[in-house]
Amino acid sequence: MPTGVHLRDARQQLFDAAERVLLRDGPGALTSRAVTDEAGTAKGVLHRHFGEFDGFLAELVLDRATRLEAEAGTLRESVGTGTVAGNLATALTTLFGPVALAIIPLITFRDELRARLRQAVPGGGTAILSQATAAISAYLSDERALGRIAAGSDIESLTLSLVGGGHLLFADQNPGPPTAAAVTRYVTSVLEPVLPA
């Protein structure tokens, strides 16, 4: 198998392979052998570029969390436009996409991975959920400043309700992801007490 792949290409190739394994087989199937087999590279390529497997997983999670930051920027750009519930329903659907949902249990059940994430970034032990929480909290604060959410609204509680409940809503993928109507209904019920009449 080839081992002379450039570092940047190898990183992306391995990250994409890990993502495919996660989506197809779940976090329990994610091993260094599964990733390198999926990527079509020798096992040594992963270890040469990332050291231990948990180091690779930490880099994978941080890479995917960075992508979520870009998606969260879209939510911030929607401040003052459309409806608050509609904007948040769209954001939850994006933030809790298939990759994020596959990564969350990976973080939850790997103590060493959580420890590495905490060392890499403050609050990193819950990467992905932290990204979603920060994005939604900032959005709600901005909408409150515009008067589209009641002035006395508890942004922290609203954010936790939206992120926690949203995660549960999307985590149950049987028979499939929630419909747009179900997501909007959930978001509207959480926001109802704080939206102007």
Tally of residues, the chain: 197
For the chain, give the percent of residues with pLDDT over 90: 46
3-state secondary structure of 79: coil
Residue 7 has pLDDT above 70, yes or no: no
Nearest to 93 by CA among 172, 176, 166: 166
Please write down the HEC assignment for all residues of 129-178.
HHHHHHHHHHHHHHHHHCCCCCCCCCHHHHHHHHHHHHHHHHHCCCCCCC
pTM of this structure: 0.80
Output the CA–CA distances (angstroms, integers) from residue 63 to 54, 115, 128, 141, in the order listed: 14, 17, 10, 27
Give residue 95's pLDDT.
86
Give residue 1's pLDDT.
42
**Domains (range + CATH), the chain:** 1-51 (1.10.10.60), 54-194 (1.10.357.10)
